[in-house]
Amino acid sequence: MKRNNHWAVFVSKNANKDLFIQQLLDKKTEGELAIFNDRSSMLMSDLSIIELINEEEIHDRVEVDKTNNRQLRSLSSGEQKKALLAYCLSKNPDCIILDNPFDNLDIASQASLGGLLKDAGDHASLIQIINRKTDVLPFIINAVSIDDKNKITYQSVEEYLTQQKNESIVFPNDVPKPLHDYEIKSDALVVFNKVNVAYNGRPIVKDISWKIKAGEFWQLIGPNGSGKSTLLTMITGDNPKGYGQNLTLFGMKKGTGETVWDIKQNVGYFTPSMTDLFSKNHTLQGMVVSGLFDSIGLYVIPAEAHLQVANEWLQLIEMDHLKNISFSKLSLGQQRLALIARAMIKHPPLLILDEPTSGLDDYHVSLVTSLINKIAAESRTAILYVSHRREEGLEPQFVFELTTDKNGSTGKEIRNTK
């Protein structure tokens, strides 16, 4: 398979990516990509994985990873994508459409999948849909760019990358002041002291010692399966494995009579999956206000002060003109900014941001990282940013890195020198 049969499709912030993919699948593409209209194609995407997982569970069978006789749900994210790639190749398609294949993968998994995709390119044409320009497969030379008006431009990858400039994002307004201050018993918000966690005899983390102090900005990194989620659930009070450990949260030793609410009231939390919790009935303003009550939706009539501070946050992220719009109608990038504002509106002692840039394009990543940096600089809230990627422009003071081991992942603190 010649290299000029592969294409990189760079999708701008407001382009209709799903429409473009559907046109490819329906064989209704125009321009140079019309050569694929008479060829067979398969889609490799996160949605494909979800659909196949559901199919396997409905019929109680292994559909994809028959070699290892394992259902997709039992595999890690990296293993799922490798299994799906092998499954696609087994159908002998002329073309495989790759929808952001490196999303949610750690660096090692990205490298491993990248090698398999290079080999796959010898057997099928690859069309790689890309939100992040750094993710382009190095052997692809043809580029398609789709702008906000869904106009398609054909050029080389080299030409496209040369034209791109990193946008400097500035939020002119100040971070809004808190409605009230928290009283924390200790400057050390989170203290792990030789914490160990195992499930069914399998060690997850070993001898974790880590301290997060008020106002600090941390990034938590580590490969898939290294225990990042385990540590997060211990910090938020959701993991019963925290009992019996030398773990102190917001000045309270775990298991000394504190409630989950005692812990959660000190935490602002964001994860991409929260997007699905807000229905079409939730307005943007109401969604942001709900962060003051730690609720999904408003079940009380907010006071004028509550509405005022929510509007100040919407002004900060330049979305106050959208306050009465349904949250579900916002773009993915707008939803992320709004959910961060919701998590931060009460100025919690600790703000946890779990993969906030996942699935975003380069422009919206710049918006999100700029907002996070501003919160870190202008508030007393400590930030725990969790991601595989070390985003350009993000300015954490410290990094806590998990390294996998058969005896459980270990952790080490790194002062960021960027």
Strands 202-213, 382-386: pairing kind: unpaired
| Per-residue model confidence (pLDDT) at position 279 | 65
Mean pLDDT of the residues in the chain: 90
More confident residue, 93 or 186: 93
382-392 mean pLDDT: 91
| Per-residue model confidence (pLDDT) at position 258 | 84
Strands 202-213, 188-199: pairing kind: antiparallel
Q: Is the pLDDT of residue 2 over 50?
A: no
Maximum CA extent, the chain: 68
The phi, psi pair for 216, rounded to 5°, reads: -80, 155
Q: How confident is the model at residue 49 (pLDDT cuts 50, 70, 90)?
A: very high
Q: Is the pLDDT of residue 1 over 60?
A: no
Q: Is the pLDDT of residue 416 over 80?
A: no
Question: What CA–CA distance (Å, rounded) separates 51 from 66?
Answer: 17
- Residue 404 CB coordination number (10 Å): 18
Q: How confident is the model at residue 275 (pLDDT cuts 50, 70, 90)?
A: confident
pLDDT tens-digit readout, 67-85: 888 999 888 888 999 999 9
pLDDT tens-digit readout, 290-339: 999 888 777 788 899 999 999 999 999 999 999 999 998 998 899 999 99
Q: Is the pLDDT of residue 34 over 60?
A: yes
Q: What is the pTM of this model?
A: 0.88
Q: What is the 3-state secondary structure (H, E, C) of the chain?
A: CCHHHCEEEEECCCCCHHHHHHHHHCCCCCHHHHHHHHCCEEEECHHHHHHHHHHHHHHCCCCCECCCCECHHHCCHHHHHHHHHHHHHHCCCCEEEEECCCCCCCHHHHHHHHHHHHHHCCCCEEEEEECCHHHCCCCCCEEEEECCCCCEEEEEHHHHHHHCCCCCCCCCCCCCCCCCCCCCCCCEEEEEEEEEEEECCEEEEEEEEEEEECCCEEEEECCCCCCHHHHHHHHCCCCHHHCCCCEEECCEECCCCCCHHHHHCCEEEECHHHHHHCCCCCEHHHHHHHHHCCCCCCCCCCCHHHHHHHHHHHHHCCCHHHCCCEHHHCCHHHHHHHHHHHHHCCCCCEEEEECCCCCCCHHHHHHHHHHHHHHHHHCCCEEEEECCCCCCCCCCCEEEEEECCCCCEEEEEEECCC
Among the ranges given (31-40, 256-265, 310-319), the one the predictor scored with the smallest mean pLDDT: 256-265
With a pLDDT cut of 70, the percent of the chain lying above it is 98
Q: Which residue has the tokens 């952790």?
A: 411
Q: Is the pLDDT of residue 166 over 80?
A: no
pLDDT tens-digit readout, 115-155: 999 999 999 999 999 988 999 999 999 999 988 788 889 99
